[in-house]
Amino acid sequence: MAKLIEGKIVAKKILENLSDEILFLEKKPCLAVIIAGDDAASKIYVNSKKKKAEELGIKSVVIELPQNCTQQEILEKIYTLNNDDSVNGILVQLPLPPQINAKEVVEKIHPLKDVDGLHPYNLGQIAAGNKPHAYPCTPKGIIRLLEYYDISIAGKHAVIIGRSNLVGRPLSLMLLNENATVTVCHSKTKNLSQITQQADILVSAAGQRGLVKADMVKDGAVVIDVGINRQEDGKLCGDVDFWGAEPRASYITPVPGGVGPMTICSLMQNTFDLYKIQNKI
């Protein structure tokens, strides 16, 4: 039987400490979020980011743009926020409407305000084995969970399913920097289950319900489920067959309450860290 990795509880502890630190600041950190379009899930995510920021005493500014907004409109908002000293972190909620070039948008955020850690400067620093201004939030949350549960990374075979810029790609580099042996699998990977069966640490970030079946999990593996999917009954579920994998795993994250709360926790921590860098604290 696996030990449950309770991200919800870990995130709460980290945020309590962060809230105490923010309490004593005269000038509060400020997070700006740009949301463009009508994506329902994005609206929910942005609302929960705003709510969490406010609970902690972080100011939050949400800039809403319509589904038919232009590249120029988004870039102008970013220029304004880049030059506004009262704003410490800028997050552009993804996905963006199809007419928008998301790559260019992310590249125009000042790297010192890139609270998502997605700017090529910050990703490049991670790829070079250096410290970025901010680490991408979900990978940072996963590493913190492993640390919290005293799960060693060095020398382990970490298998990641998914190569997105938000999760799989940066996480692979961050685990490599922690001396794991890393394999990245994706939609074109052949013999996926043969590879996952070798994983000491198995991370699924594919967003595909039922992808990771019990027989794909090695005995004693640490299973991290980043997927957020809906079951037929409308309930949230991950990529992993939780009840199939749980008897084999040594540790496993639930969905919800596993990785999700850590992502938002990292976002708040990143906002505070960028505030400190910008204010030379």
Catalytic residues: 49, 93, 116
Using CB under 6 A as the binding rule, the residues of this chain from 120 to 179 that contact ligand GUN are 137, 166
Residue 107, phi-psi category: left (phi > 0), alpha (psi -120 to 50), beta (remainder): alpha
Determine if 115 is a binding residue for ligand GUN (CB under 6 A): no
The answer to whether the CB of 244 falls within 8 A of the CB of 252 is: no
Nearer to ligand GUN among residue 181 and residue 229 (C-beta): 229
Residue number of the CB closest to ligand GUN reads 94
CB of 245 to ligand GUN, least distance (A): 24
Q: Which of 85, 31, 84 is nearest to 55 (CA)?
A: 31
Among 53, 87, 92, 143, binds ligand GUN (CB under 6 A): 92
- For the CB of residue 106, give the shortest distance to ligand GUN in the complex, in Å: 8
- The stretch near ligand GUN (CB under 6 A) out of 86-94, 198-206, 207-215, 253-261 is 86-94
> Among residues 92 and 199, whose Cβ is nearest to ligand GUN?
92
Q: Which is nearer to ligand GUN, 29 or 117 (CB)?
A: 117
Structure token digits, residue 266: 């990292």
CA-atom Rg of the chain in angstroms: 19
What is the dihedral sign for C-alpha 6, 9, 11, 13? negative
If binding is defined by CB under 6 A, does position 114 make contact with ligand GUN? no
Nearer to ligand GUN, 134 or 180 (CB): 134
Minimum distance of ligand GUN from residue 158's CB (angstroms): 20
- Asked if 94 interacts with ligand GUN (CB under 6 A), we say yes
Greatest Cα-to-Cα distance within the chain, rounded to the nearest angstrom:
56
Of the candidate spans 20-28, 89-97, 195-203, 215-223, the one that interacts with ligand GUN by CB under 6 A turns out to be 89-97
Q: Identify which of 201, 185, 219, 149 has the alpha carbon closest to the alpha carbon of residue 4.
A: 149
| 44 vs 61: CA distance, rounded Å | 15
Is residue 116 a contact point for ligand GUN (CB under 6 A)? yes
Ranges within 3-42 binding ligand GUN (CB under 6 A): none
Residues 222-281 that bind ligand GUN (CB under 6 A): 263
Instruction: Report yes or no: 222 and 250 within 8 Å, Cβ to Cβ.
Output: yes
State the minimum distance, in angstroms, from the CB of residue 217 to ligand GUN: 25
Q: Is 93 in the site for ligand GUN (CB under 6 A)?
A: yes
Q: Which is nearer to ligand GUN, 119 or 218 (CB)?
A: 119
**Residue 28 in contact with residue 279, Cβ under 8 Å?**
no
Work out the burial of residue 31: count CB atoms within 10 Å of its CB; fewer than 13 is exposed, 13-18 middle, 19 or more buried.
buried
Report the nearest approach of ligand GUN to the CB of residue 274 (Å).
15
Shortest reach from residue 136's CB to ligand GUN, in Å: 7
By CB under 6 A, name the binding residues for ligand GUN: 91-94, 116, 137, 166, 263
